[in-house]
Amino acid sequence: MTNPGARTATVGTKATLQLAASGGTTPYTWRATRLPAGLTVNKSGVVSGTPRVAGIWTVTATVTDAARRSASVSFTWTVAHAVCRPVTNATDVRIRDLTQAVSSVNVTGCVGRASTASKAEVHVRHSARGQLVVELVAPDGTVYPLHVRAGGTANNIDQVFTRNLSGENANGVWRLRVRDAKRGDIGYVDRWTLDL
């Protein structure tokens, strides 16, 4: 039986491995023990599935031929956490007097929940940031206040806000909602980045 060598995979991303053997009498029967959670081996010797848990597994694969002769190999399979990449919306959204502006990002490819130290980097151009209420809205509608009428008549918001978003699924449409709460000044959402 051929040893496939050390293998790597990522949580939430499909993995496949064709086990191989030569000699003996076909057909072969395949077995694999201590596979990463989410992976299985079929009757053709194909290991496949989507890993669910990060870690390092020592896998033992065994092939048995029609004459009941068997051979085994062992190898490691390392499963890493998926990287949830930051997402940016750089499209300007105008903030009119006494109205709200909404800018959205669609997060995909993440696994599980957002982190306990998720970051929203917000850049808003406005002539009186003390008039603004800025909120992050999760895909399920939960609202997380970021900035509530702080800063008086100072210009603009350029800030990174850190929040515990671990109660939220990472994937989905997240919205930055900016409300002008007082008449007299206008501006726009310049850009923002969400890093879960």
Strand partners, 126: 187
Quick one: pLDDT at residue 34? 97
Dump pLDDT digits (tens) for 107-162.
987 877 888 999 999 999 998 888 999 999 999 999 999 999 877 778 899 999 99
Question: 62-114: per-residue pLDDT in tens?
Answer: 999 999 999 999 999 998 877 788 999 999 999 988 889 999 999 987 877 88
With the CA atoms of 155, 160, 166 and 167 taken in that order, what torsion angle do they form, in degrees rounded to the nearest 10? 10
Architecture of the 87-195 domain = Sandwich (2.60)
Q: Are 132 and 138 in contact (CB under 8 A)?
A: no
Token pair 């930055």 is found at 176
User: What is the 8-class DSSP label of residue 83?
Assistant: P
Q: What is the DSSP letter of 114?
A: P
Other Cβ atoms closer than 10 A to 1 = 19
Q: Smallest Cα–Cα separation from 123: which of 176, 172, 171? A: 176
Class of domain 7-80: mainly beta
Structure tokens at 7: 């293998």
Task: Provide the residue ranges of all domains of the chain, joining segments of one domain with +.
Answer: 7-80, 87-195
> What's the pLDDT score for residue 128?
85
Q: Calculate mean pLDDT across residues 25-40.
A: 96
Nearest to 35 by CA among 69, 78, 72: 78
pTM (2 d.p.):
0.62
